[in-house]
Amino acid sequence: MANTNLSHVKEFILLGFSDLPNLQSILFGIFLCIYINILIGNGLIIVITKSNATLQTPMYFFLSNFAFLEICYTSVTLPRMLSDLWTQNTIISFLDCAVQLCFFLILVISESLLLVVMAYDRYVAICKPLYYTIIMNHKVCVQLVVASWITAVPILIGQTYQIFSLSFCNSNILDHIFCDLPPLMKLACGDTFWNEVLFYTVVVLFAFIPFLLILYSYIRIFITIQKLPSVMGRSKAFSTCTSHLMVVGLFYGSGIIEYLQPKTNSRTGIEKMLSLFYTIITPMFNPMIYSLRNRDVIVAMKKLLSK
């Protein structure tokens, strides 16, 4: 089946970690613990920001939405991976693969746009503090979150449809841990030029440009911070940005390495590790980054746990 024409593929075989047969149960236990940590960590962020009166601000409103997005983002790939490790059944149907890819792309782009919104919030708070409550009112915050969720949905649905309209004649074996664009494009035969053009257009519009906007926001923020008269004021202003900067670095850094490196068969192992990093490891560490470096969150968490 791997070497015949498969123009009408009905299912794919996800190799995942099949090259490590003796470690399947250990990997299942590790990924299950990671998934539970992601659910608990991000769930706590949501509960804390919703239940504590001192955290009813735009920054924590965006943070709670970001935590919810991380749960959704991880749940697209990790439960399926756990199921494959437990049952040793790595076959995924054509439709399931398309649905997984579509939701994965939508959530990745939503996270990229939400990071821009969070950077804009910090920009307004530090560079335009007198107008902060006027600019970042609740209605505007809700509109920004909704826009980050739905802006790219039609484009990504169209891109998913284009990808799965291709003929897969080389193989139906995906040497990956979930249905992702790079391994699918490797299996496609025929002219994929316009699919690649659309892919890089989406990357520029919803990843590269947002990254530049975040970079511009923080350049303005740093310039403003340097003009503050007191050292304590500069330190406090900068501390509100460091957590977000660390998350931005993890998200865009791993994504750039994964998607913009040349694809060769010899890099499949590296691609799997990078995919694990930005789909599992980063969402696990994000709650720690925001809680350990944020005194308000730590205080609110202690109050919640004491109850």
**Structure token digits, residue 108:** 């990745």
Question: How far, in Å, CA of 173 to CA of 2, rounded?
Answer: 7
Residue 119 lies in a domain: yes
Residue 6 lies in a domain: no
pLDDT values of the chain reduced to their tens digit, one per residue, 307 residues: 444 444 467 889 988 887 777 888 899 999 999 999 999 999 989 998 888 888 889 999 999 999 999 999 899 999 999 998 898 888 999 999 999 999 999 999 999 999 999 999 999 999 998 999 999 999 999 999 999 999 989 999 999 998 898 888 767 888 888 998 888 888 888 778 888 888 889 988 998 999 999 999 999 999 988 887 777 667 776 777 888 888 888 888 877 776 666 555 555 667 777 788 878 888 888 888 877 667 777 777 777 777 6
Which of 281-303 are b and which e, b meaning 16 or more Cβ less than 10 Å from the residue's Cβ?
ebbbbbbebbbeebebbeebbee
**SS3 for 230?**
coil
Residue 100 lies in a domain: yes
Number of domains composing the chain: 1
Question: How far, in Å, CA of 215 to CA of 234, rounded?
Answer: 19
Residue 144 lies in a domain: yes
Residue 45 lies in a domain: yes
Cross-strand partners of 91: 13
Question: How far, in Å, CA of 163 to CA of 145, rounded?
Answer: 28
Residue 106 lies in a domain: yes
Residue 3 lies in a domain: no
Structure-token match 């799997």, residue found: 272
Range of the domain at 43: 11-306
Question: How far, in Å, CA of 109 to CA of 210, rounded?
Answer: 10
**SS3 for 133?**
helix
Question: How far, in Å, CA of 64 to CA of 60, rounded?
Answer: 6
Helices assigned H by DSSP within the chain:
24-51, 58-75, 78-87, 94-127, 132-135, 138-150, 153-163, 181-187, 193-203, 209-226, 231-259, 268-276, 282-292, 295-306
Residue 297 lies in a domain: yes
Q: What is the CATH number of the domain that holds 189?
A: 1.20.1070.10
